A and B are shown apart, each in its own frame.
Chain A
Amino acid sequence: MYQKYFLAIFGSVLALGMTSSATAHHAFGAEFDPNRPLILRGPITRVEWVNPHAWIHIEVTNEDGTKESWMVEGGTPNTLLRRGLTRNSLTPGTVIIVDGYQSKDRSNRANGRDVTFTDGRKIFMGSSGTGAPDDGRDPTEN
């Protein structure tokens, strides 16, 4: 029974990570506005392969035909580099779909809550996992 409970707890920790709610170098809740959800579609213009977070730039065409540049925040590039992926793994012109929330500063930045190709496939496939041990830094942790 203990083992079952233990696995359930592990599972919940892992599941939290898998649903894109990763704890990271900074607090997403401090940066992004839950009242400004977004779905963005457009071609990649460039990729900033920088720390602490990579940024994917895309060009979005509005309903009135005007174009806007948006930046989408991802994780640290080091992890992907070790898997042989680089900024060149995403070719400019490739159309992607991003859902997330706009930055509280109302600039054209969003978190890359889910970033996929137009057929729904995740970009940068090949993740190796989620779910760090609790460290006590997050006051909501038990």
Chain B
Amino acid sequence: MRSVQQQIWWPAAAVASLLLVSLPGWAEGPKTAEGKPDFSGTYNIATVTPLQRPAAFGDNLLLSPEAAEKMVAQTAALKAAGQQDSDPNREAPPAGGDGSPGAAGNVGGYNSFWIDNGDSVFTIDGKFRTSIIISPKNGRRPELTADGKRRAALRMAAFRENRGEAWWLESDGPGPYDDPESRTLSDRCLLGFGSTGGPPMFPVLYNNLKRIVQTPEHVMILVEMVHDARIIRLNSEHLADDVRKWLGDSIGWWEDDTLVVETTNFADQPALSLATRDLKVTERFSRIDDETLLYSFTVEDPNTWTQPWSGEYPWPVSDERVYEYACHEGNYAMEGILKGARILEADARKSDTD
């Protein structure tokens, strides 16, 4: 038979527990010895929710559960299609290219089994989202400034469909394949593609793991692609203005249980497309639950965008391992690009003289 004390103690303990877990910041993951949230761990940030909202969705931030379910099913179906057997008697792909767009450059890439961008759309507060970007309201990057438009146009003008020809000889000035320095930062293994390390940090096609290591004075974020470590100094000042870094200079501080990180002092080409050295990124890390962080960011670069823009998405904890990504380890691509360009140039000059 239970004693009176026991009869009183257990209900009291239950009530106390309910009160405690309902208090903000309580029982929501581990804390450091200093009483701050401990975000140390590995996170897989892959998601098929897009950075920018399809324009047809307008200002609608939320995606209905039915639409989300369809999207997941469609993703699964496309994956299954990508794993279908091929014709063992197939011929070579078409001469002149297979028409694949963008960086796949009319020659295609490789099988989908190399790719790992997740298979789900994320929710925040139980609601599916149409995009990562939440501000401006249309979920898309804001209008470019006049200078931003000029630079975007220059980039577009330098782009040609891959025809296997040295088209750049048709105009004066340096060509896009003259030397390693003329190639993209991702070709050069200086930064990952797609602002994977950012900041801000976005999901990409594969290698989406982030590892956070936290001390009282620093937070380190290891970015799998391409083996970058973001070192965030807590309660510090930014470096002198003339000190510029590929990943920028990051300082951080705590606002209650939220880690705020401010990054400035970027080199001339930040990972974020079209951003300039005057880019300022403010990131906020907070805990949704034991298994999930909320990552949010605000981008300010008055050289490029007419207004700041912001976004957010969850970072789920992962038990997967982050493997080293030594980007130049077996990088035959640079040799293939530069030597290939020299051969195409020689072909063009030879045909001119014939």
Whether chain B is bound by chain A comes out as yes
Partner of B50, one of A13, A31, A107: A13
Known: A19-B100, A113-B109. A130 touches B82 (CB 8 A): yes
A25 contact set on B, CB distance < 8 A? 186-187, 189, 192-193, 225-226, 327, 333
Known: A5-B56, A100-B93, A128-B119. A135 touches B104 (CB 8 A): no
Cβ of B102 < 8 Å from any Cβ of A? yes
A141 to B: closest C-beta gap in Å: 7
B350 to A: closest C-beta gap in Å: 14
Cβ of B64 < 8 Å from any Cβ of A? yes
B106 contact set on A, CB distance < 8 A? 29, 34
Known: A24-B109, A25-B186, A127-B82. A76 touches B330 (CB 8 A): no
Cβ of A44 < 8 Å from any Cβ of B? no
Cβ of A138 < 8 Å from any Cβ of B? yes
Return the CB mask of A24-39 against B: 1 if under 8 Å, else 0: 1111111111111111
Q: How far is the CA of A125 from the CA of B324 in the complex (A)?
A: 23
Choose the segment among B24-32, B72-80, B233-241, B257-265 that binds chain A (4+ C-beta atoms closer than 8 Å).
Answer: B72-80
From A5, A38, A118, A132, residue with most partner B Cβ within 10 Å: A132
A7 touches B109 (CB 8 A): no
Known: A7-B70, A30-B187, A51-B330. A80 touches B114 (CB 8 A): yes
B182 to A: closest C-beta gap in Å: 11
Cβ of B127 < 8 Å from any Cβ of A? no
A6 contact set on B, CB distance < 8 A? 54, 56-57, 63, 67, 130
Main secondary structure of the interface of B (DSSP, over half): loop
Return the CB mask of B258-280 against A: 1 if under 8 Å, else 0: 00000000000000011000000
Return the CB mask of A104-134 against B: 1 if under 8 Å, else 0: 1111010111111111111111111111111
A2 touches B71 (CB 8 A): no
B108 touches A134 (CB 8 A): no
Partner of B93, one of A101, A103, A137: A101
Cβ of B10 < 8 Å from any Cβ of A? no
Cβ of A21 < 8 Å from any Cβ of B? yes
Known: A10-B74, A127-B83. A22 touches B64 (CB 8 A): no
From A14, A36, A38, A54, residue with most partner B Cβ within 10 Å: A14
Cβ of B243 < 8 Å from any Cβ of A? no
A39 to B, closest residue via Cβ: B92
B112 touches A130 (CB 8 A): yes
B205 to A, closest residue via Cβ: A132
A99 touches B93 (CB 8 A): yes
Known: A11-B74, A99-B93, A128-B119. A30 touches B114 (CB 8 A): no
Cβ of B35 < 8 Å from any Cβ of A? no
Partner of A29, one of B75, B104, B115, B116: B104
- A: contact size bracket: 35 or more
A66 contact set on B, CB distance < 8 A? none
A119 touches B85 (CB 8 A): yes
B194 contact set on A, CB distance < 8 A? 23, 132-133, 135, 137
A134 touches B50 (CB 8 A): yes
Q: How far is the CA of A113 from the CA of B100 in the complex (A)?
A: 11
Choose the segment among B15-23, B159-167, B213-221, B289-297 that binds chain A (4+ C-beta atoms closer than 8 Å).
Answer: B159-167
Known contacts A79-B114, A135-B193, then 4 further A-B pairs from the complex at CB < 8 Å, ordered by chain A residue:
A7-B67, A29-B106, A34-B98, A136-B273
Which B residues are within 8 Å of any A CB, using their own CB? 46-52, 54, 56-58, 60, 63-64, 66-67, 70-71, 74-75, 78-79, 81-88, 90-98, 100-119, 130, 132, 141, 152, 155-156, 158-159, 161-164, 176-177, 183-184, 186-187, 189, 192-195, 202-207, 224-226, 273-274, 320-321, 323-337, 339-341, 343-344
27 cross-chain CB contacts under 8 A: A3-B66, A6-B130, A11-B78, A17-B115, A18-B78, A24-B109, A25-B226, A25-B327, A29-B103, A29-B104, A31-B340, A34-B95, A39-B91, A50-B329, A51-B327, A52-B226, A53-B332, A75-B206, A97-B90, A99-B91, A114-B90, A127-B114, A129-B115, A130-B117, A131-B48, A137-B193, A137-B273
| The 6 residue pairs across chains A and B that have the minimum distance between CB atoms | A29-B105, A104-B340, A75-B114, A50-B330, A34-B97, A21-B100
